[in-house]
Structure 1
Amino acid sequence: MVIDAANSKIPLDGQIRRLYGDSTTRQGEVQVYVDGSCFNNGKPNAKAGAGVYFGTGNQNNTAARVPGKQTNQRGEIYAIFLVLKITDPHAALSIYYSDSEYTLKMLTERAPSNSSMGWKVEHGDLLADIAYLIKSRPGPVDFRKVKAHSGNAHNDAADVLAKTGA
Protein backbone atom coordinates (compact mmCIF):
# COMPACT_ATOMS: atom_id res chain seq x y z
CA MET A 1 0.00 0.00 0.00
CA VAL A 2 2.79 2.46 0.89
CA ILE A 3 4.64 1.56 -2.31
CA ASP A 4 1.47 2.18 -4.31
CA ALA A 5 1.04 5.58 -2.66
CA ALA A 6 4.64 6.60 -3.30
CA ASN A 7 4.48 5.57 -6.95
CA SER A 8 1.07 7.05 -7.66
CA LYS A 9 -0.10 10.53 -8.41
CA ILE A 10 -1.71 10.83 -4.99
CA PRO A 11 -0.94 14.28 -3.52
CA LEU A 12 1.76 14.35 -0.85
CA ASP A 13 -0.71 14.94 1.99
CA GLY A 14 -2.65 11.85 0.90
CA GLN A 15 0.54 9.79 0.75
CA ILE A 16 1.50 10.96 4.24
CA ARG A 17 -1.98 10.11 5.55
CA ARG A 18 -1.62 6.61 4.08
CA LEU A 19 1.80 6.20 5.68
CA TYR A 20 1.02 7.55 9.14
CA GLY A 21 -2.75 6.95 9.31
CA ASP A 22 -5.55 9.19 10.49
CA SER A 23 -5.84 10.36 14.07
CA THR A 24 -8.98 9.14 15.78
CA THR A 25 -8.85 10.83 19.18
CA ARG A 26 -7.80 14.16 20.62
CA GLN A 27 -7.39 14.40 24.39
CA GLY A 28 -5.81 17.68 25.37
CA GLU A 29 -2.77 19.05 23.65
CA VAL A 30 0.85 18.48 24.55
CA GLN A 31 3.33 21.03 23.29
CA VAL A 32 6.95 19.99 23.42
CA TYR A 33 10.18 21.45 22.11
CA VAL A 34 12.96 19.25 20.79
CA ASP A 35 16.50 19.80 19.63
CA GLY A 36 19.54 17.80 18.66
CA SER A 37 23.17 18.65 19.11
CA CYS A 38 26.50 17.15 18.19
CA PHE A 39 29.92 18.10 19.43
CA ASN A 40 32.64 17.50 16.81
CA ASN A 41 30.01 16.72 14.17
CA GLY A 42 31.49 14.79 11.25
CA LYS A 43 34.58 13.71 13.18
CA PRO A 44 35.44 10.30 14.67
CA ASN A 45 35.07 11.64 18.22
CA ALA A 46 31.60 13.13 17.63
CA LYS A 47 29.08 12.98 20.49
CA ALA A 48 25.40 13.61 19.76
CA GLY A 49 22.57 14.39 22.15
CA ALA A 50 18.83 14.89 22.04
CA GLY A 51 16.83 17.32 24.14
CA VAL A 52 13.11 17.15 24.89
CA TYR A 53 11.53 20.05 26.80
CA PHE A 54 7.93 19.96 28.04
CA GLY A 55 8.18 22.92 30.41
CA THR A 56 9.77 24.18 33.61
CA GLY A 57 10.15 21.40 36.16
CA ASN A 58 8.38 18.79 34.01
CA GLN A 59 9.52 15.28 34.95
CA ASN A 60 9.49 14.28 31.26
CA ASN A 61 12.16 16.79 30.26
CA THR A 62 14.91 14.63 28.80
CA ALA A 63 18.59 14.93 27.93
CA ALA A 64 19.77 11.79 26.15
CA ARG A 65 22.80 10.49 24.34
CA VAL A 66 21.94 9.47 20.79
CA PRO A 67 22.45 5.79 19.94
CA GLY A 68 24.22 4.78 16.75
CA LYS A 69 25.82 7.26 14.39
CA GLN A 70 26.76 10.50 16.13
CA THR A 71 25.45 13.42 14.04
CA ASN A 72 23.42 16.55 14.67
CA GLN A 73 20.73 15.30 12.28
CA ARG A 74 20.37 12.02 14.15
CA GLY A 75 20.11 14.04 17.37
CA GLU A 76 17.15 15.99 15.96
CA ILE A 77 15.44 12.80 14.78
CA TYR A 78 16.10 10.94 18.03
CA ALA A 79 14.55 13.78 20.03
CA ILE A 80 11.30 13.33 18.07
CA PHE A 81 11.47 9.57 18.63
CA LEU A 82 11.79 10.18 22.38
CA VAL A 83 8.76 12.48 22.42
CA LEU A 84 6.64 9.84 20.74
CA LYS A 85 7.78 7.23 23.29
CA ILE A 86 7.22 9.50 26.32
CA THR A 87 3.84 11.07 25.57
CA ASP A 88 0.33 9.71 25.97
CA PRO A 89 -0.60 8.35 22.53
CA HIS A 90 -4.14 9.74 22.83
CA ALA A 91 -2.97 13.33 23.31
CA ALA A 92 -2.85 15.80 20.45
CA LEU A 93 0.87 16.36 20.12
CA SER A 94 2.56 19.48 18.78
CA ILE A 95 6.29 18.97 18.37
CA TYR A 96 8.29 22.16 18.00
CA TYR A 97 11.82 21.75 16.75
CA SER A 98 14.70 23.96 15.78
CA ASP A 99 16.02 24.74 12.34
CA SER A 100 16.37 21.19 11.03
CA GLU A 101 14.96 21.40 7.53
CA TYR A 102 16.39 17.91 6.99
CA THR A 103 14.25 16.43 9.77
CA LEU A 104 11.09 18.07 8.50
CA LYS A 105 11.66 16.81 4.96
CA MET A 106 12.51 13.29 6.11
CA LEU A 107 9.28 13.10 8.14
CA THR A 108 7.05 14.67 5.47
CA GLU A 109 8.09 15.10 1.84
CA ARG A 110 10.48 12.16 1.67
CA ALA A 111 8.70 9.79 4.05
CA PRO A 112 6.44 8.01 1.53
CA SER A 113 9.34 7.37 -0.84
CA ASN A 114 11.71 6.33 1.95
CA SER A 115 9.08 3.97 3.33
CA SER A 116 8.59 2.35 -0.06
CA MET A 117 12.35 1.71 -0.17
CA GLY A 118 12.24 0.00 3.22
CA TRP A 119 13.75 3.03 5.00
CA LYS A 120 17.15 2.26 3.45
CA VAL A 121 18.29 5.83 4.03
CA GLU A 122 20.54 7.46 6.58
CA HIS A 123 18.86 7.22 10.00
CA GLY A 124 16.24 4.93 8.45
CA ASP A 125 16.05 2.88 11.64
CA LEU A 126 14.80 5.87 13.63
CA LEU A 127 12.60 7.16 10.81
CA ALA A 128 10.88 3.76 10.52
CA ASP A 129 10.34 3.67 14.29
CA ILE A 130 8.88 7.18 14.21
CA ALA A 131 6.53 6.24 11.36
CA TYR A 132 5.37 3.20 13.35
CA LEU A 133 4.82 5.25 16.52
CA ILE A 134 2.87 7.95 14.68
CA LYS A 135 0.71 5.40 12.88
CA SER A 136 -0.05 3.50 16.08
CA ARG A 137 -1.13 6.50 18.13
CA PRO A 138 -4.77 7.55 17.87
CA GLY A 139 -3.92 11.18 18.73
CA PRO A 140 -2.69 13.57 16.03
CA VAL A 141 0.93 14.68 15.66
CA ASP A 142 1.79 18.12 14.34
CA PHE A 143 5.33 19.26 13.55
CA ARG A 144 6.05 22.96 13.88
CA LYS A 145 9.30 24.65 13.02
CA VAL A 146 10.84 27.35 15.15
CA LYS A 147 13.90 29.36 14.32
CA ALA A 148 16.91 28.18 16.28
CA HIS A 149 18.61 30.53 18.71
CA SER A 150 15.91 33.19 18.23
CA GLY A 151 15.37 33.87 21.92
CA ASN A 152 12.51 31.38 22.36
CA ALA A 153 13.03 30.24 25.97
CA HIS A 154 11.46 26.80 25.39
CA ASN A 155 13.60 26.12 22.34
CA ASP A 156 16.67 27.34 24.20
CA ALA A 157 15.86 24.90 27.03
CA ALA A 158 15.61 22.02 24.52
CA ASP A 159 18.98 23.11 23.10
CA VAL A 160 20.58 23.01 26.57
CA LEU A 161 19.14 19.52 27.15
CA ALA A 162 20.47 18.32 23.79
CA LYS A 163 23.95 19.59 24.63
CA THR A 164 23.73 17.98 28.07
CA GLY A 165 22.78 14.67 26.46
CA ALA A 166 25.81 14.77 24.20
Structure 2
Amino acid sequence: MSYNLIFDHKLPAILRQIRSIKKFRQPKFYAVAVGRRVGIYRSWPSSKVQIQNISNAKYKIFDTHKEALEYLETTPKETPITSEDVKIASDTKSKRNKYQTVYIDGSCWRNGSPNACAGLGIYWPGSPEKNQSLTIDGKQTSIRAEIWAAIMAIRQARSLGYHYLYIYSDSHFVIQCATVWIEKWKRSNWITTAGHEVKNRYDMMALDEAVKSIQKIIWRPVVAHSGVFGNEEADRLAKAAIAETLSKRSTSSESQSFDPLINDGLEKCDEIDKTQ
Protein backbone atom coordinates (compact mmCIF):
# COMPACT_ATOMS: atom_id res chain seq x y z
CA MET A 1 0.00 0.00 0.00
CA SER A 2 2.74 2.47 0.91
CA TYR A 3 4.51 1.73 -2.38
CA ASN A 4 1.36 2.68 -4.34
CA LEU A 5 0.98 5.90 -2.40
CA ILE A 6 4.57 6.92 -3.11
CA PHE A 7 4.20 6.09 -6.80
CA ASP A 8 0.94 8.03 -7.15
CA HIS A 9 2.47 11.02 -5.43
CA LYS A 10 5.44 11.15 -7.82
CA LEU A 11 3.61 10.28 -11.02
CA PRO A 12 2.68 13.87 -12.06
CA ALA A 13 6.26 15.01 -11.67
CA ILE A 14 7.55 12.05 -13.65
CA LEU A 15 5.11 12.72 -16.48
CA ARG A 16 6.15 16.37 -16.57
CA GLN A 17 9.78 15.31 -16.84
CA ILE A 18 8.97 12.93 -19.71
CA ARG A 19 7.10 15.67 -21.58
CA SER A 20 9.96 18.05 -20.99
CA ILE A 21 12.49 15.54 -22.35
CA LYS A 22 10.37 14.86 -25.43
CA LYS A 23 10.03 18.57 -26.10
CA PHE A 24 13.77 19.04 -25.66
CA ARG A 25 14.53 16.21 -28.08
CA GLN A 26 12.16 17.46 -30.76
CA PRO A 27 14.14 18.23 -33.96
CA LYS A 28 14.74 21.94 -34.50
CA PHE A 29 15.18 23.96 -37.65
CA TYR A 30 17.88 26.65 -37.54
CA ALA A 31 17.17 29.35 -40.12
CA VAL A 32 20.11 31.61 -41.05
CA ALA A 33 18.80 34.65 -42.92
CA VAL A 34 21.98 36.74 -42.81
CA GLY A 35 25.31 34.93 -42.62
CA ARG A 36 27.94 33.18 -44.68
CA ARG A 37 25.46 30.72 -46.17
CA VAL A 38 21.76 31.45 -46.07
CA GLY A 39 19.73 28.33 -45.40
CA ILE A 40 17.94 26.03 -42.99
CA TYR A 41 20.08 23.73 -40.86
CA ARG A 42 19.22 20.77 -38.66
CA SER A 43 21.82 21.26 -35.93
CA TRP A 44 23.24 24.16 -33.94
CA PRO A 45 26.92 23.41 -34.79
CA SER A 46 26.25 23.50 -38.55
CA SER A 47 24.31 26.77 -38.28
CA LYS A 48 26.74 28.35 -35.81
CA VAL A 49 29.52 28.20 -38.41
CA GLN A 50 27.42 30.39 -40.70
CA ILE A 51 26.95 33.23 -38.21
CA GLN A 52 30.22 33.33 -36.27
CA ASN A 53 32.01 36.67 -36.58
CA ILE A 54 29.16 38.14 -38.63
CA SER A 55 28.26 41.37 -36.89
CA ASN A 56 24.78 41.69 -38.36
CA ALA A 57 23.91 37.99 -38.50
CA LYS A 58 20.22 37.13 -38.37
CA TYR A 59 18.97 33.69 -37.40
CA LYS A 60 16.14 32.01 -35.54
CA ILE A 61 15.22 28.55 -34.30
CA PHE A 62 11.88 27.02 -35.26
CA ASP A 63 9.94 23.85 -34.54
CA THR A 64 8.85 23.36 -38.16
CA HIS A 65 10.52 23.66 -41.55
CA LYS A 66 7.62 25.75 -42.86
CA GLU A 67 8.13 28.43 -40.19
CA ALA A 68 11.87 28.50 -40.88
CA LEU A 69 11.30 28.89 -44.62
CA GLU A 70 8.81 31.73 -44.11
CA TYR A 71 11.38 33.50 -41.94
CA LEU A 72 14.03 33.25 -44.68
CA GLU A 73 11.70 34.50 -47.39
CA THR A 74 10.51 37.52 -45.40
CA THR A 75 13.79 38.63 -43.88
CA PRO A 76 15.67 41.21 -46.01
CA LYS A 77 19.16 40.08 -46.99
CA GLU A 78 21.84 42.46 -45.75
CA THR A 79 25.11 40.79 -46.70
CA PRO A 80 26.46 40.19 -50.21
CA ILE A 81 27.37 36.67 -51.27
CA THR A 82 31.08 35.95 -50.78
CA SER A 83 33.49 35.75 -53.70
CA GLU A 84 33.41 31.96 -53.66
CA ASP A 85 29.67 31.94 -54.16
CA VAL A 86 27.97 32.03 -57.54
CA LYS A 87 26.47 35.43 -58.28
CA ILE A 88 22.69 35.28 -57.78
CA ALA A 89 20.17 37.53 -59.46
CA SER A 90 18.48 39.97 -57.12
CA ASP A 91 14.78 40.66 -56.92
CA THR A 92 12.52 43.32 -55.49
CA LYS A 93 10.66 42.78 -52.23
CA SER A 94 7.31 43.22 -53.95
CA LYS A 95 7.98 40.18 -56.13
CA ARG A 96 9.40 37.98 -53.38
CA ASN A 97 6.09 36.46 -52.37
CA LYS A 98 5.50 35.24 -55.94
CA TYR A 99 8.45 32.89 -55.79
CA GLN A 100 8.16 29.14 -55.20
CA THR A 101 11.06 27.34 -53.52
CA VAL A 102 12.47 24.03 -54.72
CA TYR A 103 15.56 22.02 -53.79
CA ILE A 104 17.20 19.76 -56.38
CA ASP A 105 19.96 17.17 -56.29
CA GLY A 106 21.47 14.45 -58.45
CA SER A 107 23.30 11.32 -57.41
CA CYS A 108 24.99 8.40 -59.12
CA TRP A 109 25.84 4.90 -57.93
CA ARG A 110 29.26 3.84 -59.27
CA ASN A 111 29.63 7.01 -61.29
CA GLY A 112 31.51 6.43 -64.53
CA SER A 113 31.25 2.64 -64.49
CA PRO A 114 29.38 0.52 -67.09
CA ASN A 115 26.68 -0.48 -64.57
CA ALA A 116 26.26 2.98 -63.03
CA CYS A 117 22.82 4.16 -61.95
CA ALA A 118 21.88 7.85 -61.68
CA GLY A 119 18.91 9.40 -59.93
CA LEU A 120 17.51 12.84 -59.19
CA GLY A 121 15.51 14.32 -56.35
CA ILE A 122 13.16 17.32 -56.36
CA TYR A 123 11.97 18.58 -52.98
CA TRP A 124 9.19 21.16 -52.58
CA PRO A 125 9.10 22.42 -48.95
CA GLY A 126 5.69 21.94 -47.38
CA SER A 127 4.30 20.11 -50.43
CA PRO A 128 5.27 16.42 -50.22
CA GLU A 129 2.81 15.49 -52.96
CA LYS A 130 4.97 17.44 -55.44
CA ASN A 131 8.27 15.78 -54.54
CA GLN A 132 9.90 13.67 -57.23
CA SER A 133 12.31 10.73 -57.07
CA LEU A 134 13.39 9.72 -60.58
CA THR A 135 16.12 7.97 -62.52
CA ILE A 136 17.43 9.33 -65.82
CA ASP A 137 17.64 7.96 -69.35
CA GLY A 138 20.83 7.70 -71.36
CA LYS A 139 24.34 7.82 -69.96
CA GLN A 140 24.33 7.35 -66.19
CA THR A 141 26.56 10.01 -64.58
CA SER A 142 26.30 12.29 -61.58
CA ILE A 143 26.60 15.48 -63.62
CA ARG A 144 23.77 14.45 -65.96
CA ALA A 145 21.64 13.67 -62.90
CA GLU A 146 22.31 17.18 -61.58
CA ILE A 147 21.42 18.76 -64.94
CA TRP A 148 18.21 16.78 -65.30
CA ALA A 149 17.19 17.53 -61.72
CA ALA A 150 17.14 21.20 -62.73
CA ILE A 151 15.34 20.52 -66.01
CA MET A 152 12.64 18.36 -64.43
CA ALA A 153 12.09 20.81 -61.56
CA ILE A 154 11.58 23.70 -63.99
CA ARG A 155 9.28 21.65 -66.22
CA GLN A 156 7.25 20.63 -63.18
CA ALA A 157 7.05 24.24 -62.00
CA ARG A 158 5.76 25.31 -65.39
CA SER A 159 3.12 22.56 -65.39
CA LEU A 160 1.98 23.80 -61.97
CA GLY A 161 1.60 27.33 -63.28
CA TYR A 162 4.62 28.75 -61.42
CA HIS A 163 6.42 31.67 -63.07
CA TYR A 164 8.99 32.59 -60.39
CA LEU A 165 11.37 30.09 -58.79
CA TYR A 166 14.05 29.92 -56.13
CA ILE A 167 16.15 26.88 -57.05
CA TYR A 168 18.53 25.62 -54.38
CA SER A 169 21.29 23.35 -55.68
CA ASP A 170 24.62 22.07 -54.39
CA SER A 171 25.95 21.88 -57.98
CA HIS A 172 27.72 25.15 -58.69
CA PHE A 173 28.58 23.67 -62.08
CA VAL A 174 24.90 23.48 -63.08
CA ILE A 175 24.24 26.98 -61.76
CA GLN A 176 27.16 28.37 -63.74
CA CYS A 177 25.95 26.55 -66.86
CA ALA A 178 22.44 27.95 -66.50
CA THR A 179 23.50 31.51 -65.72
CA VAL A 180 26.77 32.06 -67.64
CA TRP A 181 28.31 29.32 -69.73
CA ILE A 182 25.39 28.18 -71.89
CA GLU A 183 25.06 31.63 -73.46
CA LYS A 184 28.80 31.64 -74.22
CA TRP A 185 28.66 28.16 -75.70
CA LYS A 186 25.74 29.12 -77.92
CA ARG A 187 27.75 32.04 -79.31
CA SER A 188 30.70 29.71 -79.99
CA ASN A 189 28.48 27.04 -81.60
CA TRP A 190 28.95 24.77 -78.57
CA ILE A 191 32.72 24.72 -78.77
CA THR A 192 34.78 25.31 -75.62
CA THR A 193 37.73 27.72 -75.41
CA ALA A 194 39.97 24.65 -75.64
CA GLY A 195 38.45 23.85 -79.03
CA HIS A 196 36.43 20.82 -77.96
CA GLU A 197 32.71 20.18 -78.26
CA VAL A 198 30.84 20.88 -75.03
CA LYS A 199 30.23 17.70 -73.06
CA ASN A 200 26.58 16.81 -72.51
CA ARG A 201 25.68 19.36 -75.16
CA TYR A 202 22.13 18.15 -75.72
CA ASP A 203 21.45 18.06 -71.99
CA MET A 204 22.65 21.66 -71.82
CA MET A 205 20.34 22.60 -74.68
CA ALA A 206 17.43 21.05 -72.81
CA LEU A 207 18.39 23.01 -69.69
CA ASP A 208 18.56 26.23 -71.70
CA GLU A 209 15.11 25.58 -73.15
CA ALA A 210 13.69 24.88 -69.70
CA VAL A 211 15.19 28.04 -68.17
CA LYS A 212 13.75 30.18 -70.96
CA SER A 213 10.29 28.64 -70.54
CA ILE A 214 9.75 30.29 -67.16
CA GLN A 215 9.65 33.98 -66.31
CA LYS A 216 12.30 34.20 -63.60
CA ILE A 217 14.67 31.87 -61.75
CA ILE A 218 16.88 32.86 -58.86
CA TRP A 219 19.57 30.23 -58.31
CA ARG A 220 20.76 29.75 -54.74
CA PRO A 221 23.86 27.62 -54.11
CA VAL A 222 24.10 25.44 -51.02
CA VAL A 223 26.91 23.29 -49.67
CA ALA A 224 26.26 19.57 -50.04
CA HIS A 225 25.81 17.57 -46.81
CA SER A 226 26.14 20.65 -44.62
CA GLY A 227 22.84 20.17 -42.78
CA VAL A 228 20.59 22.22 -45.09
CA PHE A 229 17.29 20.40 -44.66
CA GLY A 230 15.89 20.88 -48.18
CA ASN A 231 19.15 19.78 -49.78
CA GLU A 232 19.29 16.69 -47.59
CA GLU A 233 15.73 15.81 -48.60
CA ALA A 234 16.49 16.22 -52.31
CA ASP A 235 19.55 14.03 -51.86
CA ARG A 236 17.44 11.39 -50.09
CA LEU A 237 14.91 11.39 -52.95
CA ALA A 238 17.67 10.97 -55.54
CA LYS A 239 19.16 8.03 -53.69
CA ALA A 240 15.73 6.46 -53.20
CA ALA A 241 15.29 6.38 -56.98
CA ILE A 242 18.67 4.70 -57.34
CA ALA A 243 17.89 2.16 -54.63
CA GLU A 244 14.61 1.21 -56.29
CA THR A 245 16.29 0.70 -59.66
CA LEU A 246 19.11 -1.37 -58.16
CA SER A 247 16.56 -3.48 -56.33
CA LYS A 248 14.80 -4.22 -59.62
CA ARG A 249 18.11 -5.11 -61.23
CA SER A 250 18.94 -7.54 -58.44
CA THR A 251 15.66 -9.44 -58.81
CA SER A 252 15.91 -9.87 -62.58
CA SER A 253 17.16 -13.22 -63.81
CA GLU A 254 20.16 -11.76 -65.60
CA SER A 255 21.34 -9.72 -62.60
CA GLN A 256 21.29 -12.15 -59.69
CA SER A 257 25.03 -11.69 -59.09
CA PHE A 258 24.49 -7.92 -58.73
CA ASP A 259 22.53 -8.15 -55.48
CA PRO A 260 25.46 -8.22 -52.99
CA LEU A 261 26.79 -4.96 -54.43
CA ILE A 262 23.68 -2.85 -53.86
CA ASN A 263 24.21 -1.76 -50.25
CA ASP A 264 27.94 -1.28 -50.74
CA GLY A 265 27.35 0.99 -53.70
CA LEU A 266 24.71 3.11 -52.01
CA GLU A 267 26.94 3.73 -49.03
CA LYS A 268 29.40 5.35 -51.42
CA CYS A 269 26.86 7.68 -53.00
CA ASP A 270 28.09 10.48 -50.75
CA GLU A 271 31.52 10.19 -52.33
CA ILE A 272 30.28 11.06 -55.82
CA ASP A 273 32.68 12.75 -58.21
CA LYS A 274 30.55 15.61 -59.56
CA THR A 275 32.77 16.38 -62.53
CA GLN A 276 32.00 15.76 -66.16
TM-score range, shorter chain: 0.7 to 0.9
Residue aligning to 1:6: none
Q: How does 1:12-91 map to 2 (within 5 A)?
A: 28-88=98-158, 90-91=162-163
Q: Does 1:153 align with 2:223?
A: no
Gaps of 5+ in 2: 1-94, 191-196, 243-276
Residue aligning to 2:179: 108
Q: How does 1:122-137 map to 2 (within 5 A)?
A: 122-137=199-214
Distance 2:236 2:184 in 1: 34
Amino acid at match of 2:168: Y
Q: Which consecutive segments of 4 or more residues in structure 1 shift more than 3 A?
A: 117-120
TM-superposed CA distance for 1:133, in Å, is 2.1
Q: How much is the aligned-residue C-alpha RMSD, in angstroms?
A: 2.0
Identity %: 33
The two structures have a TM-score, normalised by structure 2, of: 0.47
Amino acid at match of 2:208: A
Q: Does 1:95 align with 2:167?
A: yes
Gaps of 5+ in 1: 1-24
Amino acid at match of 1:92: Y
CA gap of 1:126–1:145, structure 2 versus 1, over 3 A, is: same
Deviations 1:84-140 (A, max 9, x none): 110135421010011x22212222231112223444522222221221122232x21
TM-superposed CA distance for 1:79, in Å, is 0.3
- Name the structure where helix makes up a greater proportion of residues: 2
Distance 1:26 1:85 in 2: 21
Distance 1:26 1:124 in 2: 33
The two structures have a TM-score, normalised by structure 1, of: 0.76
How many equivalent pairs are there? 140
Q: Secondary structure at the match of 2:199?
A: coil
Distance 2:114 2:126 in 1: 35
Distance 1:56 1:160 in 2: 16
TM-superposed CA distance for 1:160, in Å, is 0.5
